[in-house]
Amino acid sequence: MRLFGPAAVVLASAFSLGLTACDAPDPATKNAAGRPALPARAAQPALRHAVPIGPEETRRAVEAATLQEAASVSQLHAIPAQDAKVFSVSGGDPAVNGLVTYLGLFVSPAEGWRVYPLGDFSAWRVSETGPGRLVLNVRQDTAGPRGGIVSRDSRLIVGFARSDGQAPVAVTVTPAR
């Protein structure tokens, strides 16, 4: 029996997964740390090709100037419990601190978001959140003494205490360990 197309891909994937399941690790096999070795990762099944099932629709570009800024967002960390989000837009030198990073606090449906600048980073991640505060782990790059780029990792505590549920006029950014 010969199979072609998607059925052949599914059958081949099932067969290869079945073979890899037979390769259980030998409990006597140890890694460099003296612990039992982990089994080899199973091969990932091949991705199916998308096949159209309906008519094609055409969508034109949106002309709204306000969406230009939205299209520049390159990283986002939502904090829904506090109606907050940290986000970056692409800007500056993409090789050095190209993530222009902000805190957004939701005010109301009528007013939208109040946005506060946090800094320009080459990388960042939210490592902690709590009522009215968050901690950012950041990497900032500077020019070194010989012209090369020097990276420095640090942490920042961002405070944004709300008063009567309203977003503050300003937030605080404090260096931390």
How far is Cα 149 from Cα 153, in angstroms, rounded to an integer? 13
pLDDT score of 67:
81
Mean pLDDT value across the chain: 80
pTM comes to 0.65
How far is Cα 126 from Cα 85, in angstroms, rounded to an integer? 10
pLDDT score of 95:
65
More confident residue, 121 or 60: 121
Please choose, from the candidates 118, 120, 150, the residue with its C-alpha nearest in 3D space to the C-alpha of residue 135: 118
How far is Cα 21 from Cα 42, in angstroms, rounded to an integer? 8
pLDDT score of 170:
95
Instruction: Report in angstroms the alpha-carbon separations of 114 from 111, 154, 163.
Output: 8, 26, 14
Please write the tens of the pLDDT for every residue from 46-74.
778 888 899 988 888 878 777 888 888 99
Over residues 102-129, the mean pLDDT reads 94
**Domain ranges across the chain:** 1-59, 66-176
Over residues 100-123, the mean pLDDT reads 94
